[in-house]
Chains A and B, each alone.
Chain A
């Protein structure tokens, strides 16, 4: 199974900050990497697919990069509605696996 490791597991940031979350795969996964946002009590929502493609309707302050084993999700200017938990997920092979999550909290 491919292990996905996210860092940090949590961070505190202020509105307007630039935030970067990293995700590392235990083996190369090309660009088979998706990012999701989850708010408390809600289902996850896709932000980025195929490592860097922005899902329709998602604000352009979200961006993704990387390929192989190392990936990054960046929020260019954090907004109040962005405080949530973020998960990376590989779709290179089954079992599909998720990172442990990064909780973005208000500083």
Chain B
């Protein structure tokens, strides 16, 4: 079945970096964009950006352009999100999520989510 398996929880010091992985299975990895969405404790959902696994092109939200890198390794169907210069307000659950388009229309939506990776930033 289609699934996204994310790496395990991380605890980091302020100023450090974290790299979260997301391994796709059950579908052709390069055929669907991969997005990253985060959720701070008790808060709503915040979109970080997407990567086109086929080309490697990325599109990042302005808030993250200076600190986020998104990459992929097509040989192992895995996407990565690296967040640098961590701050306490980066403490959140980070989700990878696949978007699917609606046939014969321009609409698309997130149809598959990973279970999330908890990143805690604390000294």
* Count of CB-CB pairs between chains A and B under 8 Å: 60
A95 to B97: give the CA distance in the assembly, Å. Answer: 15
- The answer, yes or no, to whether A55 is at the interface (CB within 8 Å) is yes
- Nearest-Cβ distance from residue B110 to partner chain A, whole angstroms: 6
- Could you say which of A49, A95, A99 contacts B47, with CB atoms under 8 Å apart? A95
- The answer, yes or no, to whether B8 is at the interface (CB within 8 Å) is no
Interface pick from B10-18, B69-77, B79-87, B111-119 = B111-119
Kindly state the interface size class of chain B when it binds its partner.
20 to 34
Q: Is the CB of B108 within 8 A of A91?
A: yes
Main secondary structure of the interface of B (DSSP, over half): strand
- The answer, yes or no, to whether A34 is at the interface (CB within 8 Å) is yes
- Nearest-Cβ distance from residue A49 to partner chain B, whole angstroms: 4
Contacts of B95 in A (CB 8 A): 43
Kindly name the residue among A55, A91, A99 whose own CB sees the greatest number of chain B CB atoms within 10 A: A91
- Could you say which of B49, B109, B113 contacts A34, with CB atoms under 8 Å apart? B109
- Nearest-Cβ distance from residue B78 to partner chain A, whole angstroms: 18
The 6 closest A-B pairs by CB, nearest first: A43-B113, A49-B109, A50-B107, A96-B47, A95-B61, A34-B109
- A residues sitting closer than 8 Å to B (CB atoms) are 1, 31-32, 34, 36, 42-46, 49-50, 53, 55, 87, 89, 91, 94-101
- B residues sitting closer than 8 Å to A (CB atoms) are 35, 44-47, 49-50, 59, 61-62, 95, 97, 99, 102, 105-111, 113-116
